[in-house]
Amino acid sequence: MSPRSSVNGKASSSDRTKELDELIEQEQLPAGRADLAEPPVAHSQRERLLVAVAQTTAEKGYNATTIGDVCTAAGVSRATFYELFKDKEDCFHAAMELSLADAMGSIVAVYSPDKPWATMVRDAAAAFLELLAARPTFARMAMIEAPASGERAFQLYASGKRVLQSLLERGREDPVEEEAIPTSAARAALAAAESLIVGQILTGNTARLPELLPDVVYITTLPYLGQEEALRQAREAEREHPAADR
């Protein structure tokens, strides 16, 4: 029943941070970065196209979006488009990579070996929801259009999910009864949170995603900490991030 007060110190600080980097690398995800503002300051035609593909697919859906739409939105010529990208999917894929790098960046930024696992989950969930809320266009592209846009973007999305799943699985390190936790627990918890987030984006409430923090913290800590402690973690998350009250 007692809350986890520390993570089992098997690895040193730097080892554990490295683990996360390795995890990201192993999934062949771009390294985290967290400096993309929305609307991003477009330093190059390439970046303008990446922002434009995110915007047009968010508005029209991936299938209905044409290269012409993307070029018009970016103010870039078709010839330039084809110098930079092979086709629509290639451009979309590059934009997906950028947003995944952001998402990983937001998690790397709060990941610390000195934090107990539950604190890490609270902080990572808060950072992730705030990132999506702050970049609604990218949120829609990454969470909604990715499955519709072909195999490559879908695989990127799946890789991102696997990284989160591995992080969640660390809740196993010191559970009350480890053998009682089925292997499907992390997938179920992530699917629950994902479905909630996607529903919120589809109903046009992306800006209010941070309000879902207590729900997300509850469902992701539940399999590892039990109901009483998961409810406590949800209240704690709400207290730490009062934006979730509004």
Partner 1 sequence: MIARSQRERLLDAAIDVVAEKGYAKTTIADLTREAGISRTTFYEMYPDKEACFLAAYDAAADVLARRVAAAFEAEGEWPARTRAGLEALLGSLAAEPAVARLALVDFGAAGPSAQRRYRAALQRMTPLFDEGRDFAPEGRRLPPNTSRMAIGAVVGLIADEIEAGRTEKLPDRLPDVLLAALSPYLGPEAATSEVEKR
Residues that bind partner 1 (CB under 8 A): 61-64, 144, 147-148, 180-182, 184-185, 187-196, 199, 202, 212, 214-215, 218-219, 222-223, 226-228, 230-231, 234
Nearer to partner 1, 89 or 130 (CB): 89
Tell me how far, at minimum, the Cβ of 193 lies from partner 1, in Å: 7
Tell me how far, at minimum, the Cβ of 223 lies from partner 1, in Å: 5
Paired tokens of 124? 């990572």
Nearer to partner 1, 102 or 211 (CB): 211
Nearer to partner 1, 111 or 157 (CB): 157
Q: List Cβ<8 Å contacts ≥24 apart for 14-23.
A: 14/113, 15/113, 16/113, 17/111, 17/112, 17/113, 20/107, 20/108, 20/111, 20/167, 21/108, 23/163, 23/166, 23/167
Nearer to partner 1, 68 or 147 (CB): 147
Tell me how far, at minimum, the Cβ of 96 lies from partner 1, in Å: 14
Residue 10 CB burial class (10 angstroms; 0-12, 13-18, ≥19):
exposed
| H/E element, 163 | helix 151-169
Tell me how far, at minimum, the Cβ of 192 lies from partner 1, in Å: 4
Interatomic CA distance for residues 155 and 123, integer angstroms: 26
Tell me how far, at minimum, the Cβ of 180 lies from partner 1, in Å: 6
**Identity (one letter) of the amino acid at 88?**
K
Nearer to partner 1, 91 or 143 (CB): 143
